[in-house]
Amino acid sequence: MHDKLGDYSKAIEFYQKGLEIGEKLSLTNQFNLTEICENIGAAYNHIGDYMKALEFYQKSLDICLKPFPSNQSNLATIDNDMAQNYQYVQQYLKAIEAYKKNT
């Protein structure tokens, strides 16, 4: 709800708690951890902390690749989010590389 209300700092706080709990419980459903990391990245993106957003998008990607290296449907979304953030921080070659993964 905090995310929907635009209170991204509070949303990050609760997403982080969820991530910590999920990691402690070693969730067998890696999709949940991937989604939490994506949400954290998006919240950081909303507040303009693009490097922190990239950190969580990368973590999401890493989690996603563990169980299914090549056929995750949300890989394209994560790569696209990362590409946009690389553009924000003027790392254009990395942005192009991330966009190319979607083609």
Which pLDDT tens digit goes with each residue over 10-25? Answer: 999 999 998 888 887 7
Q: List alpha helices for the chain, DSSP H.
A: 8-24, 30-46, 50-65, 75-88, 92-100
Name residue 10's amino acid.
K
pTM over cut 0.75? no
Give a yes or no: residue 57 inside a domain.
yes
CATH of the domain at 95: 1.25.40.10
Distance between start and end Cα atoms, the chain: 34
- Which residue segment(s) compose the domain that 32 sits in? 8-100
Question: Is the pLDDT reported for residue 55 higher than 90?
Answer: yes
Give a yes or no: residue 78 inside a domain.
yes
Query: Where is mean pLDDT largest: 18-27, 49-58, 88-97?
Result: 49-58
Q: What's the whole-number mean pLDDT along residues 49-72?
A: 79
Given pLDDT bands bounded at 50, 70 and 90, which one contains residue 71? very low
